[in-house]
Structure formats: structure tokens, C-alpha cells
Amino acid sequence: MTKWTTEDIVDQRGRTFVVTGANSGLGEVTARALAASGAHVVLACRDVAKGQRVAAEIGDNAEVRRLDLADLASVRDFASGIEKVDVLVNNAGVMAVPRRSTADGFEMQIGTNHLGHFALTGLLLDRVTDRVVTMSSLAHKLGTVDLADLNWERRRYRRWSAYGQSKLANLLFTYELQRRLTAAGSKVKSVAAHPGYASTNLQSHTESVWDRLMGIGDLFAQSAEMGALPELYAATAPDVSGGTFIGPDGPFEQRGYPKVVVSNRKSRDESIARGLWAQSERLTGVHYSFGS
């Protein structure tokens, strides 16, 4: 793969993208790049005011709709208002936050990063024409999906382990979704991406000493513009295959240009993936249909 940049995005005129968390960070960069390529971009944001400021700068190719992934009622309301989407970009997330719960009682990180996006994808899937892109992280290597205690009700809560579990869940979901799409004969693709180590505001919301430590680490991080390239490639490159994982091409996948990368063995465990899928349907009440 050559050093792919936003200059290589093919013309996206006539296509609609939904980007979650598009009011800041990687999501904002992604939304701006997609709109610049001609796409109509729906900025799906919890903070509508911030989203509107971004949309105003983008111009006519952008619109803002409220979406709180930590509230399934909000997810359902958002999905009911979307008529068509070519590409869904599951970008939003929270990282290493203190123990707290979503509106539906889920642990915040698994609830927002995985269950919220699982529900959103299931509710929109019959309107997706091209692909679903789900953002994971190198932190998936820190995680273990505990199907007996997905919401950290029995275990002692560890914020980074919980984050790792949610990012591992993103990959298990991506690969299982692709298997089910393939089995159904669907042409829709499910693709995952990760940004490497990119400087965004995600690192400043852990509400702990990590905010300061990661602020120092940002001196060595790549820009949000570089960090967004893998998800932009995953969302727009015509030759991306379903079930692939896109990340930076530099040392240890910390920085660089997009390439196909390999996730860990846990992310490829089909038994865990099926169990997570069944539990996600039960918890969210969203049951996927793979009709033609």
C-alpha cells in the first residue's frame, strides 16, 4: 500500500455517511475530510452545540443530529430519523473513565463503545448500502471479554481493563458482523480501524492523573489528522475487503499511514464472538435481520 492520504479519497458525491462522535477529535477530522470529498455527512453527536459549530464550518455537506450512545432511547430515536446511509462510521468512544453506568445500567465503556454502536448498527443495517466501519484501538490487546461479567458487576473495576474489553469487543463485533453478512449473501462490508497513538481530546477525559500524563505523551503522538487516516481509508477505499483491520504502518502501529494490520488471537475467537453477539442482542433488545 502506498502512503495513502486524504488526497487519495475518491469522489464521494451522492453518498451519505453517518459519523458518530463527529463534533471533535478523530470524528471531526473524518467528517471534514468526507465532506471535502463531496459526501453528505451526518454528524451524530451527544453535544449538539459543538457539532453545529463544526457543521457550520463544513458548510452545506454537513448536518447535525443528536445521538447519545450511552442511552438506548437516544440511539433508537436517532436511527428512526435516518432514511439512507451508505457508510456508517462507529467512531465515538470514551476511554478509561471512572466506574459509572449508562442510562440503561451498563458499565459506561462497554455500554458506549460497544453496546451503543451494536444497537445503532443493528437498527440502521437495512439502510446501509456499502459498509460499516468500527473504530477499535491497540488497547484491545489489554482486554478480555468476560461474558459472565460484561458490565463489571462482580469484578473489581479497573478502568484500563474495562477500556481494553470494550475495544476488543469492537473487533469481535466487526468480524462476527462480517461472517453473518457473508452468510446472508450481503454485499455490505464490516471493517475495523485504529488510529495508533494520536493526539485527541479523548485522553483528557479519564478524570485521573492519566489526563496529565497523557498530555505529556501527546508531545510524541501523531496528529488527529494522521490518526484519522485509517478510518478514512476503511470508510472510502474501494478495495477494502470486509473483515479487515486498518491501522498505521509505522513501528508498533503507533503512527503512520494506513495499512492492513492484524489483531490479536482473542479478537478472532469465534465462540466468544457468538456469545458476545447473543448477549449484546439480549442487553440492547436489538435483534439483527440479514434479509435480502
CA distance 66 to 74: 8
CA 122, 127, 129 angle in degrees (round to 5)?
A: 110
Q: Is the pLDDT of residue 218 over 70?
A: no
Strand 258-261 versus strand 245-248 pairing type? antiparallel
Active site residue 197: no
Across the chain, mean pLDDT equals 94
User: What's this model's pTM, rounded to 2 decimal places?
Assistant: 0.93
pLDDT band at 1 (very low <50, low <70, confident <90, very high): low
Which one of 157, 163, 175, 288 is the catalytic residue? 163
In tens, the pLDDT along 220-248 reads 789 999 999 999 999 999 999 999 999 99
pLDDT band at 203 (very low <50, low <70, confident <90, very high): very low
At 199 the pLDDT is 82
Q: Is the pLDDT of residue 113 over 50?
A: yes
At 292 the pLDDT is 53
Domains of the chain: 7-284 (3.40.50.720)
At 2 the pLDDT is 76
Q: Which phi and psi angles does 30 have, rounded to 5°?
A: -60, -45
Q: What is the mean pLDDT of residues 259-273?
A: 98
CA distance 79 to 169: 22
